[in-house]
Amino acid sequence: MSTAFQRVFQGQVEAVICDWAGTTYDFGSMAPIRAFQSLFESNGVPITTDEAREPMGTEKREHITQLLAMPRIKKAWLDKHDKEADEQVIDRLYHDFLPLQLDAIRECAQAIPGWLDTVSILKDRGIKIGANTGYNREMLETLSEIARGHGYAPESSVCASEVAKGRPFPHMSLKNALELGVSDVRSCIKVDDTIPGIEEGLAAGMWTVGVAVSGNETGYSMEDWQAIGPVEKQNLRTKAIQRFKANGTHIIIDSVADLALAVDQVNDWLTQGLSPDSDRLMGRVISAES
Task: Say if residue 158 is in the same domain as residue 245.
Answer: yes
Q: Say which CATH number the domain at 125 has.
A: 3.40.50.1000
Per-residue model confidence as pLDDT tens digits over 9-47: 879 999 999 999 999 999 999 999 999 999 999 999 999
237 pLDDT band, cuts 50/70/90, is very high
Per-residue model confidence as pLDDT tens digits over 159-184: 998 999 999 999 999 999 999 999 99
Q: Give the Cα separation of 223 and 186 in Å (integer).
A: 37
Query: Where is the domain boundary, 108, 127, 149?
Result: 108
Q: What is the mean pLDDT of the chain?
A: 94
60 included as an active-site residue: yes
Q: Give the Cα separation of 193 and 13 in Å (integer).
A: 20
| 156 contacts 130 by C-beta, under 8 angstroms | yes
Residue 146 confidence (pLDDT) above 90: yes
**pLDDT number for residue 5:** 47
pLDDT (average), residues 208-228: 96
Task: Say if residue 65 is in the same domain as residue 204.
Answer: no
Q: Give the Cα separation of 162 and 165 in Å (integer).
A: 9
Task: Say if residue 223 is in the same domain as residue 94.
Answer: no
| Inside any domain, residue 2 | no
Task: Say if residue 121 is in the same domain as residue 225.
Answer: yes
| Inside any domain, residue 16 | yes
Task: Say if residue 224 is in the same domain as residue 97.
Answer: no
Q: In the 3-class helix/strand/coil scheme, how is the chain assigned residue by residue?
A: CCHHHHCCCCCCCCEEEECCECCCECCCCHHHHHHHHHHHHHCCCCCCHHHHHCCCCCCHHHHHHHHHHCHHHHHHHHHHHCCCCCHHHHHHHHHHHHHHHHHHHHHHCCECCCHHHHHHHHHHCCCEEEEEECCCHHHHHHHHHHHHHHCCCCCEEEEHHHCCCCCCCCHHHHHHHHHHCCCCHHHEEEEECCHHHHHHHHHCCCEEEEECCCCCCCCCCHHHHHHCCHHHHHHHHHHHHHHHHHCCCCEEECCHHHHHHHHHHHHHHHHCCCCCCCHHHCCEECCCCC
In the sheet with 128-133, reading across from the earlier edge strand, the strands are: 156-159, 128-133, 15-18, 188-192, 207-211, 251-253, 284-285
The residue annotated as part of the active site, out of 19, 26, 192, 258, is 19
Query: Where is the domain boundary, 48, 76, 108?
Result: 108
- Non-local CB neighbours of 37 within 8 Å, separated by 6+ positions: 46, 47, 49, 52
| Inside any domain, residue 82 | yes
| Closest listed residue to residue 194, CA positions, set 53, 66, 26, 35 | 53
248 φψ region: left (φ > 0), alpha (ψ -120 to 50), beta (else): left
Dihedral pair phi/psi, residue 22, rounded to 5°: 90, -15
Task: Say if residue 53 is in the same domain as residue 142.
Answer: no
Q: How many domains does the chain have?
A: 2
19 included as an active-site residue: yes
Higher-confidence residue: 41 or 280? 41
Residue 289 confidence (pLDDT) above 70: no
**pLDDT number for residue 1:** 39
- pTM comes to 0.89
**pLDDT number for residue 278:** 85
The residue annotated as part of the active site, out of 26, 60, 175, 190, is 60
Query: Where is the domain boundary, 74, 90, 108?
Result: 108
Full residue range of the structural domain in which residue 99 is found: 30-108
Residue 2 confidence (pLDDT) above 70: no
Bridge partners (DSSP) of residue 21 are 25
